[in-house]
């Protein structure tokens, strides 16, 4: 037997996977070949040391974490809006940034309105006019936020599960119908502050709904049906 | 109220292993620790029915072996914990789709190896420099090696870490975990001949490295 052939058999030799005939040939070869004999000895030493490698235990918390994850896997409903900003595509980040900025501005406007109302109780009609101006400013900001969020939704729309998309569509239609009612009420009486406040509340709901749509579309993995674990 | 309807999302894991023949395991792989086929089959069936206690028993039985397998891929205690969490969640979530309970052990290890390889792919850039398992924080299971043995195992651990994934898988399953080539072939989805040749290459690589270290 030549060394090249012997070397190929040595790994199986130390595992006891060779036939009696092959073992006989190989052992005969190793009697006269120190290199192959050394290879066999080294492989045996490696195998033995591998058996003696230290074993480490996982922490006692691991099983509890597995149980918690299994429990969570059983029922998944539409998630509460959570901002996982860094995982959003670039277009979405801009849209959400714009929306957040607009919400901050709206917050400032609403505080301004509140101050205006307080002054209005003192200054009468001037205060009401101030509040109306601020409401109109807030409306513009909401419109801007909704426009940005709507563009973001359009980018993600192909990711929607059809059932989720349908639910969102129904809710959007309801909100748009309510917005139209509010606008009609305001047209009939532009000085009615209650209708104006209600209009802002509906805009806010629309912005929240669009934000939820972005969140859900970013959460749902693509190609769910074909995903495999191995 | 908006979003009044609760929408059930599809399971994130829609793994369909199909028949056992697809995995290639039609007979039991004998596990080195004592657990009869009957006991294992009963635990699998109970786990499939949602029995948490049975799941816990299966976890207890395989946790050390799988954790150490994961540790020798990741060489990071926290990462190995994450990997075995993923493995057991996948296993218990998809147990209903395993047709042949006799194929369970091979299926479990196949998921484990693939989860480890997936971890390596996703953390390629973050992989840490070589460290020994002796340096990994954790409870070392019931072995008390001598100082020489400890030094040898430390060097071998460092060497295993340097192996490419395909050689590492075969070496870990055969020489460390004690699986036969026939079993490894089924776990890794390769031929028996490939398993044997990969083991030969792995041992040669290890030997070469150990010669540099003047260990052999």
Nearest residue in B to A43, CA atom: B203
Q: Computed over its alpha carbons, how large is the radius of gyration of chain B?
A: 19
* pTM across the whole model: 0.56
- In Å, how far is A2's CA from the nearest CA of chain B? 18
Cβ neighbours for B133, distance < 8 A, ≥ 6 positions apart:
A53, A54, A56, B68, B71, B72, B75, B153, B154, B157
Using the 8-state DSSP alphabet, how is residue B4 labeled? -
Is 50 exceeded by the pLDDT of residue B97? yes
- In Å, how far is B37's CA from the nearest CA of chain A? 24
Of the candidates A92, A224, A208, A96, the residue with the CA atom closest to the CA atom of residue A156: A92
CB-CB contact of B75 with A70 (8 Å): no
Pick the CATH number of B145-216 from 3.10.20.440, 1.10.10.10, 3.30.420.480, 3.10.20.30: 1.10.10.10
- Supply the mean pLDDT for chain B: 78
Q: Where are the alpha helices (DSSP H) in A33-89?
A: 34-51, 62-74
A82 touches chain B (CB under 8 A): no
Q: Where are the domains of chain B?
A: 23-128, 145-216
Q: What is the pLDDT of residue A122?
A: 46
- In Å, how far is B31's CA from the nearest CA of chain A? 15
For residue B63, list chain A residues with Cβ-Cβ distance below 8 A.
Answer: 57-58, 62-63
Q: What is the pLDDT of residue A39?
A: 94
To the nearest 10°, report the CA torsion of A216, A217, A222, A226: 40
Q: What is the pLDDT of residue A192?
A: 73
For residue B173, list chain A residues with Cβ-Cβ distance below 8 A.
Answer: none
Check CB contact under 8 Å for A205 and B141: no
Chain A segment 126-165 residues within 8 A of B by beta carbon are: 161, 163-164
To the nearest 10°, report the CA torsion of B45, B48, B54, B56: 140
Check CB contact under 8 Å for A54 and B181: no
Of the candidates B195, B183, B174, the residue with the CA atom closest to the CA atom of residue B105: B183
Check CB contact under 8 Å for B89 and A228: no
Topology agreement, domain B23-128 and domain B145-216: no
Per-residue burial over A55-88, b if 16 or more Cβ lie within 10 Å, else e, is bbebeeebbebbbeebeeeeeeebeeeeeeeeeb
Q: What is the pLDDT of residue A226?
A: 38
Helix/strand/coil percent split, chain A, to 5: 80, 0, 20
C-alpha A31 chain-centroid distance: 65
A57 touches chain B (CB under 8 A): yes
pLDDT digit string (tens) for B120-156?
A: 888 875 554 445 555 554 545 544 556 666 777 888 9
Q: Residue B153: which of A8, A49, A230 has the nearest Cβ?
A: A49
Nearest residue in A to B134, CA atom: A54
Q: Quick one: CATH architecture of B23-128? A: Orthogonal Bundle (1.10)
Check CB contact under 8 Å for A227 and B111: no
Check CB contact under 8 Å for B2 and A46: no
Nearest residue in A to B94, CA atom: A229
What value does the mean pLDDT take over residues B94-121?
93
Check CB contact under 8 Å for A62 and B63: yes
Q: What percent of chain B has pLDDT over 90?
A: 55
pLDDT in tens, chain A (230 residues): 688 888 889 999 999 999 999 999 999 999 999 999 999 999 999 999 998 888 889 998 899 999 989 888 764 433 444 444 445 555 555 566 666 666 666 666 666 666 555 555 445 556 667 777 777 788 888 888 888 888 888 877 777 777 777 777 878 888 888 888 878 888 777 777 777 777 888 888 888 888 877 777 665 444 433 333 34
Which of A89-98, A167-176, B86-95, B196-205 shows the lowest mean pLDDT across its residues? A89-98
């Amino acid at each position: 037997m030549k060394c090249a052939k012997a070397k190929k058999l040595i790994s199986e030799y130390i595992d006891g996977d060779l036939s009696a005939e092959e073992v006989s040939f190989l052992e005969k070869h190793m009697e006269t070949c120190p290199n192959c004999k050394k290879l066999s000895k080294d492989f045996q030493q490696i195998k033995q040391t591998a058996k003696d490698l230290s074993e480490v235990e996982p922490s006692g918390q691991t099983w509890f974490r597995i149980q918690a994850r299994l429990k969570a896997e059983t029922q998944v409903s539409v998630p509460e809006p959570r901002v996982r900003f860094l995982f959003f595509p670039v277009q979405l980040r801009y849209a959400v940034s714009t929306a957040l900025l607009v919400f901050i501005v709206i917050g400032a406007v609403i505080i301004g309105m509140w101050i205006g109302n307080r002054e209005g109780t003192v200054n009468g009609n001037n205060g009401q006019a101030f509040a109306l101006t601020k409401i109109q400013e807030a409306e513009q900001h909401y419109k801007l936020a909704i426009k940005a969020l709507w563009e973001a939704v359009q980018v993600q729309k192909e990711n929607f599960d059809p059932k989720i998309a349908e639910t969102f569509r129904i809710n959007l239609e309801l909100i748009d119908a309510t917005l139209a009612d509010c606008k009609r009420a305001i047209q009939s009486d532009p000085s009615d502050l209650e209708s104006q406040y209600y209009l802002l509340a509906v805009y806010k709901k629309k912005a929240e709904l669009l934000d939820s749509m972005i969140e859900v579309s970013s959460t749902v993995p693509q190609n769910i049906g074909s995903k495999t674990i191995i | 109220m908006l979003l009044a309807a609760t929408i059930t999302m599809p399971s994130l894991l829609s793994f369909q292993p199909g028949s056992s023949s697809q995995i290639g395991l039609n007979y039991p792989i004998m596990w080195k620790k004592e657990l009869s086929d009957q006991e294992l089959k009963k635990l699998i069936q109970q786990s499939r029915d949602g029995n948490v206690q049975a799941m816990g028993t299966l976890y207890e039985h395989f946790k050390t072996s799988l954790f150490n397998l994961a540790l020798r891929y990741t060489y990071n205690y926290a990462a190995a914990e994450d990997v075995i969490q993923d493995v057991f969640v996948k296993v218990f979530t998809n147990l209903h789709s395993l047709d042949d309970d006799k194929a369970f052990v091979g299926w479990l290890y196949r998921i484990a190896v693939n989860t480890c390889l997936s971890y390596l792919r996703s953390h390629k850039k973050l992989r840490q420099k070589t460290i020994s398992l002796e340096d990994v924080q954790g409870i070392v299971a019931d072995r008390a090696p001598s100082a020489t043995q400890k030094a040898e195992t430390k060097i071998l651990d460092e060497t295993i870490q340097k192996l490419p994934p395909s050689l590492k898988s075969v070496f870990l399953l055969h020489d460390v975990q004690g699986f036969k080539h026939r079993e490894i072939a089924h776990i890794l989805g390769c031929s028996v001949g490939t398993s044997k040749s990969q083991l030969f290459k792995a041992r040669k690589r290890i030997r070469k490295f150990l010669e540099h270290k003047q260990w052999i």
